[in-house]
Amino acid sequence: MVRHARGDGPPSIYLINNAALLSPVGPAETLDLEEAQNHILTNLAGPIYLTASLLGAVSGSRLDSHVTVVNITSGAGKSPYFRRSVYCAGKAGLDMFTRTVAHEQAGRNLPHRVFAVRPGVVDTSMQTLTRNLPDEATHDRELFLRLKRDGKLLPPDIAAELTLRTLDDPRVQSGDIVDVRELYPDHVAL
C-alpha cells in the first residue's frame, strides 16, 4: 500500500505481512517435514524476504520514501500452543525479526518503522481449522469452540480495520509487538 502525503512529499509505503499457515499440527516427532518447511517459508521466510527486498529497493532509490512494515503475529509467538510447535516457532521468529530490524533502524537518520500486530481471535478459516482438529490434537480446542459458540470471535473486517488503525496510532512504536485487544478494548470483547 502506498499513501501520498499532501503536496509533493515523498510517498509512504506500507507492507503488511499477513499470509500464514497453521499446519502442520501434531507432536514434533510426527510432523511432515515438507509441510513444516513450507510453513516456515510462508510464515517466516516470506515476511523476511519481502521486508528485506522493500527496504533494499527504497534505500537503493532516489525516492525519499518512508516504509512501515506490519507483521501479523500471534500470542503463539510468546506462549507455547500445544502441538503447534511450527506455528509458534514461526511467529516467535517473526517477532524477533520485527524487533531486530526496528533496533537496527533506530540508529538511522530517517528510520523506517517495523512492528507486529496480534489481531485477536478472528473468525477466519484458520479458526475453523483449529475447531476441526481431532479432539486429542490440542489442549485448547474447547476454548475456541466456546468462543465461536458465544459469538466472541472477531469478524475479519473488524480485525482488518483495527490493524489498519495501528498505522497511525501514536502509541505504537517501531519494534513493538502490540495486541489489538489491549490497544482497542472497546472494540474487542475478548
Ligand X SMILES: NC(=O)c1ccc[n+]([C@@H]2O[C@H](COP(=O)([O-])OP(=O)(O)OC[C@H]3O[C@@H](n4cnc5c(N)ncnc54)[C@H](OP(=O)(O)O)[C@@H]3O)[C@@H](O)[C@H]2O)c1
Q: Indicate left, alpha or beta for 151 from its phi (over 0: left) and psi (-120 to 50: alpha).
A: left
| The pairing of beta strand 177-179 with beta strand 2-4 | unpaired
Which is the catalytic residue, given 14, 49, 81, 87?
Answer: 87
Q: Identify whether 87 is a catalytic site residue.
A: yes
**Nearest to ligand X of 66, 119 (CB atom):** 119
In degrees and rounded to multiples of 5, residue 133 shows phi and psi of -65, 155
**Nearest to ligand X of 45, 58 (CB atom):** 45
Shortest separation between residue 163's beta carbon and ligand X, angstroms: 9
**Nearest to ligand X of 55, 121 (CB atom):** 121
Shortest separation between residue 55's beta carbon and ligand X, angstroms: 20
Please give the residue ranges that form the binding site for ligand X (CB under 6 A). 18-21, 42, 72, 74, 119, 121-122, 124-127
Shortest separation between residue 7's beta carbon and ligand X, angstroms: 35
**Nearest to ligand X of 66, 116 (CB atom):** 116
Q: How far lies 93's CA from each of 3, 40, 89, 109, 186, in Å?
A: 29, 10, 6, 27, 30
Shortest separation between residue 71's beta carbon and ligand X, angstroms: 8
Q: Which helix (H) or strand (E) holds 62?
A: none
Q: Which residues are catalytic?
A: 87
